[in-house]
């Protein structure tokens, strides 16, 4: 059976790899020149199960409003006439209730934990190197930030995640490169959480998949899908048609058109984010532990001999243009904590779109069309959920029993309005 996977981000490539390992003939078709050229390229690289959770959470709407009024804001909102934007926001607000947050968080964590297991298995079986590092430190600038983190500590305790609340002195012992001048009230250390370069990982998986017989077709945007009754038969691309027995849509933030062709309506919305990647020039001033500045929601991740500084959520602009104000916030955070560490003036800017659903978990599995499957909507933690999502999807296509419960991770939750 021949399966066509559309999209060669981390989601599509891992899916193709898993499908091949179940014996399918697999073709990946991608509009870019190679794999991981869009959201999977310049992300923060955090592979955290504890951090995998929805943006929609209690207190978030007022926090966002406060952010919008502050100078260096982690949130940029451009009100537009796009009805999809307002529908998405209305649903997002509904998902901020405590009960909804708990449910969505549990669903995402179930998937992220499974993903970590699959990733570790792949890593040890294939010796994949992707600039991985261990340890994660959330920094709180004020006592109020520490207080806001307390409900999450409870959840971490319940899920058995190793963590330790540190005072400012302990943070500096753990990460001596943190400068003294910036106010620091404390931090949350998650020693088992991991980081890594998502694009490198995706390329390694592509190499393994290609060596195993997966065909990759680049520079080939899928422009339309053809059906015979309720079955997909072929995809039209800029480089000709491709027939297949099944189709997997893994097209990230830009999935709307293909989803509609497959009869699927999802409130998927692109939430732009930015990063800067700077070469480390003074090793003694560079962090070994990756950190997240909670006040600005900016991550500084060590990737080999570079620092990746990433963050910002921008709603209301579908074009991937770089906004200087967003880069300014990233630079401020990097210079506040690690001023002499890297050549920030020459840092590589990047912008990408998170494929966001208002509730948080992605949508995996079957659609109303008999042989069309989805692996979309991984939002701000798609790298952390990729390997598990791919294996689940491959199991579904193969008719095998998935290894974790799919509750809340499929299209069913959007099939009937109001359903959990």
Ligand X SMILES: Cc1cc2nc3c(=O)[nH]c(=O)nc-3n(C[C@H](O)[C@H](O)[C@H](O)COP(=O)(O)OP(=O)(O)OC[C@H]3O[C@@H](n4cnc5c(N)ncnc54)[C@H](O)[C@@H]3O)c2cc1C
Q: Which helix (H) or strand (E) holds 25?
A: strand 25-29
Based on CB atoms, which residue is closest to ligand X, 57 or 277? Answer: 277
Name residues contacting ligand X, limited to 173-192 (CB under 6 A). none
Give the C-alpha distances (Å, rounded to integers) separating 348 from 42, 72, 254, 276: 10, 20, 24, 5
In the structure, how many helices (H) and strands (E) does the chain have? 11, 19
What distances in angstroms separate CA 351 from CA 84, 188, 268, 291, 302, one per listed residue? 21, 28, 18, 20, 19
Contact 361, 310 (CB under 8 A): no
Beta pairing partners, 375: 364
For residue 164, the minimal CB distance to ligand X (Å) is 21
* Three-class DSSP category at 182: coil
Would you count residue 261 as binding ligand X (CB under 6 A)?
Answer: no
Number of chain residues interacting with ligand X (CB under 6 A): 41
Regarding 254 and contact with ligand X (CB under 6 A), the answer is yes
Site stretch for ligand X (CB under 6 A), options 30-38, 119-127, 135-143, 149-157:
30-38
Under the binding rule (CB under 6 A), the answer on residue 270 touching ligand X is no
Q: Interacting stretch for ligand X, rule CB under 6 A, among 93-101, 136-144, 206-214, 378-386?
A: 378-386
The least CB distance from residue 169 to ligand X, in Å, is 28
Among 46, 190, 280, 303, binds ligand X (CB under 6 A): 46
Q: Is 228 left (phi over 0), alpha (psi -120 to 50) or beta?
A: beta
Considering only residues 348 through 367, tell me which ones interact with ligand X, judged by CB under 6 A: 352, 354-355
- The DSSP element (H or E) to which 155 belongs, if any, is helix 143-159
Please state, in angstroms and rounded to a whole number, the distance separating the CA atoms of residues 351 and 314: 10
Residue among 15 and 57 whose Cβ is closer to ligand X: 15
Residue 63 is encoded by which pair of tokens?
A: 């926090």
Which range touches ligand X (CB under 6 A), out of 68-76, 244-252, 286-294, 325-333?
A: 244-252
Sorted by sequence, the CB contacts under 8 Å of residue 290 that are 6+ apart come out as: 45, 46, 133, 135, 136, 137, 195, 299, 300, 301, 302
Smallest separation, CB 125 to ligand X (Å): 22
Closer of 179 and 256 to ligand X (Cβ): 256
**273, 358, 360, 408: residue in contact with ligand X (rule CB under 6 A):** 273
DSSP string, 298-342: EEEEEETTEEEEEEEEEES--S----HHHHHHHHHHHHHH-TTSB
Burial 389-401 (b: 16+ CB within 10 A, else e): bbbbbbbbbbeee
Among 3, 5, 8, 247, binds ligand X (CB under 6 A): 8
Q: Which is nearer to ligand X, 40 or 185 (CB)?
A: 40
Stretch in the footprint of ligand X (CB under 6 A) among 10-18, 88-96, 133-141, 151-159: 10-18
Using rule CB under 6 A, residue 53 touches ligand X: no
3-state secondary structure of 187: strand
Q: Please select the residue that binds ligand X; options are 44, 64, 298, 334, rule is CB under 6 A.
A: 44
Work out whether 31 is an interface residue with ligand X (CB under 6 A): yes
Q: C-alpha 161: how far from its chain's center? A: 20
Strands 246-249 and 372-376: parallel
Q: Give min distance, CB of 115 to ligand X, in A.
A: 9
Binding-site string for ligand X from residue 282 to residue 321, where x marks contact by CB under 6 A and - marks none = ----------------------------x-----------
Q: Which of 189, 378, 391, 413 binds ligand X (CB under 6 A)?
A: 378
Of 330 and 397, which CB lies nearer to ligand X in the complex structure?
330
Rounded distance, CA 399 to CA 374, Å?
Answer: 15
> Which spans of this chain sit near ligand X (rule: CB under 6 A)?
6-12, 29-32, 37-40, 43-46, 221-222, 250-254, 258, 273-275, 310, 352, 354-355, 378-384
């Amino acid at each position: 059976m021949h399966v066509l996977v559309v999209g060669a981000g981390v989601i599509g490539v891992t899916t193709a790899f898993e499908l091949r390992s179940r014996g399918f003939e697999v073709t990946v078709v991608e509009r870019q020149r190679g794999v991981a050229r869009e959201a999977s390229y310049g992300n923060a690289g955090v592979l955290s199960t504890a951090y995998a959770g929805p943006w929609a959470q209690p207190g978030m709407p007022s926090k966002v409003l406060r952010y919008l009024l502050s100078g260096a804001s982690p949130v940029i909102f451009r009100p537009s006439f796009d009805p999809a934007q307002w529908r998405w926001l209305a649903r997002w607000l509904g998902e901020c209730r405590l009960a909804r947050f708990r449910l969505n968080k549990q669903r995402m964590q179930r998937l992220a934990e499974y993903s970590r297991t699959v990733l570790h298995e792949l890593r040890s079986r294939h010796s994949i190197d992707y600039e991985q590092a261990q340890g994660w430190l959330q920094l709180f600038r004020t006592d109020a930030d520490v207080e806001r983190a307390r409900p999450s500590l409870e959840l971490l305790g319940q899920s058995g995640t190793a963590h330790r609340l540190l005072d400012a002195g302990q943070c500096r012992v753990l990460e001596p490169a943190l400068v003294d001048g910036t106010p620091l009230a404390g931090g949350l250390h998650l020693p088992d959480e991991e980081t890594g370069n998502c694009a490198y990982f995706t390329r390694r998986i592509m190499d393994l998949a290609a060596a195993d017989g997966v065909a990759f077709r680049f520079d080939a945007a899928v422009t339309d899908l053809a059906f015979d009754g309720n079955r997909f038969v072929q995809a039209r691309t800029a480089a000709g048609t491709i027939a297949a027995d099944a189709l997997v849509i893994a097209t990230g933030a830009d999935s709307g058109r293909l989803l509609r062709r497959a009869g699927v309506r999802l409130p998927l919305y692109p939430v732009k984010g930015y990063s800067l990647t700077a070469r480390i020039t003074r090793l003694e001033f560079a962090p070994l532990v990756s950190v997240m500045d909670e006040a600005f929601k900016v991550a500084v991740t060590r990737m080999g001999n570079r620092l990746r500084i990433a963050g910002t959520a921008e709603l209301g602009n579908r074009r991937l243009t770089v906004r200087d104000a967003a880069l300014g916030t990233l630079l401020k955070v990097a210079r506040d904590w690690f001023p002499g560490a890297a050549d920030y003036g020459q840092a590589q800017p990047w912008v990408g779109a998170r494929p966001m659903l208002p509730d948080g978990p992605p949508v995996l599995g079957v659609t109303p069309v008999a042989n069309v499957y989805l692996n979309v909507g991984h939002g701000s933690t798609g790298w952390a959920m990729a390997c598990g999502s791919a294996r689940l999807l491959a199991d579904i296509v193969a008719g095998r029993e998935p290894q974790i419960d799919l509750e809340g991770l499929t299209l069913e939750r959007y099939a009937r309005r109001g359903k959990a």
